[in-house]
Amino acid sequence: MRMHDDSDRLAVLIEELSDLTTESVRDSVDLDTLETTELVRLMNEGDRRVPEAVAQRSAEIATAVDAIVTRFRRGGRLFYIGAGTAGRIGILDASECPPTFGTDPELVQGLIAGGPTAVLRAVENAEDDDEAAATELAALGLGEDDTVVGISASGRTPYVVGGLSYAQQVGALTIAVAQNRGSAIGAVADIPIEVVVGPEFVAGSTRLKSGTAQKLVLNMLSTLAMVRLGKTYRGIMVDLVATNEKLRARSVRTVMTVTGVDADTAEQALDAASGHVKQAILSVVTGLAPDAAASALDDADGLLRVAIERNPRA
């Protein structure tokens, strides 16, 4: 009986996969017979179509960004959930937010099916657990001010479907990023972002174009949300955290670029501001003392442009 049930489930899965563009095979291309230069050309040709596919979903992405920002301003957090490549891309995007934008590590978090071990190696059957993500999100105290972004190339990963379904139940904002139309995760999300990139260079290898599309979309969700929150000024990172020599040099250069002062003056301003780039810039531009600059930024909800406009140099 067990073997019969397993065979039935396998047959259903095979049928489901046959309907997915990410699982389809490219027409009459015998990759193993081609020269390497031709392989490079073909793969690059396919990759160039990914940004175009993302652009077609611009409206949904913009809606998602604004909704995320609304919840951030209410004290909410952003969670990415995914399995395999999708999960790793979510973790990558989340881990880059603190050094780039000076955010608390808890503000943007990535969860992957199978847990931390799955970041480095595959954890068998982890993606098939439709309760795991819900359990993890519940343990993190997911609430209605939070956002959950489910990422799945196929759009049917049980781990992601279960996590989004739980998020819906508690009233959190739900966003789905899939590479197939009419996806299961899109059906349970408030905002489906279905970026269809077509057949992969190697059939079914969704770490390729699908993974690239996921990275582009997540780049936009987190970066544009941070722009709306005032984490940038004139297209420059002004909330970065100087955790190494390169970022320390970038902090000095940022103050120099925005204010026009020399390196020594920029370093002095940063030291007085305890390394806070935005605060140092405001002090240099307006002449405010470090403590006053910090207060002015708080009053402006962290928006440097607003703080500068409210505190013109005497």
* Tens of pLDDT, residue by residue, the chain (314 residues): 554 555 555 555 555 555 666 655 665 578 889 999 999 999 999 999 999 999 999 999 999 999 999 999 999 999 999 999 999 999 999 999 998 998 999 999 999 999 999 999 988 789 999 999 999 999 999 999 999 999 999 999 999 999 999 999 999 999 999 999 999 999 999 999 999 999 998 888 899 999 999 999 999 999 999 999 999 999 998 998 777 888 899 999 999 999 999 999 999 999 999 999 999 999 999 999 999 999 999 999 999 999 999 999 86
pTM of the entire predicted model = 0.88
Known catalytic residues are: 96, 127
Write down all domains in the chain, each with its CATH number in brackets: 49-228 (3.40.50.10490), 232-310 (1.10.8.1080)
Q: How many CA atoms lie within 13 A of 18 on its CB side?
A: 6
- The 108-112 sheet, strands edge to edge: 108-112, 78-82, 147-152, 173-178, 191-194
Of 65, 73, 8, the closest CA to residue 191 belongs to 65
The DSSP bridge partners found for residue 148 are 79, 174
CA distances, 196 to each of 155, 160, 287 (Å): 11, 18, 51
The conformation of residue 32, written as its DSSP 8-state character, comes to G
Q: Give the whole-angstrom CA distance, residue 60 versus residue 189.
A: 12
Long-range contacts: 73-77, Cβ < 8 Å, 24+? 73/229, 74/145, 75/145, 76/143, 76/145, 76/146, 76/147, 77/106, 77/107, 77/108, 77/109, 77/145, 77/146, 77/147
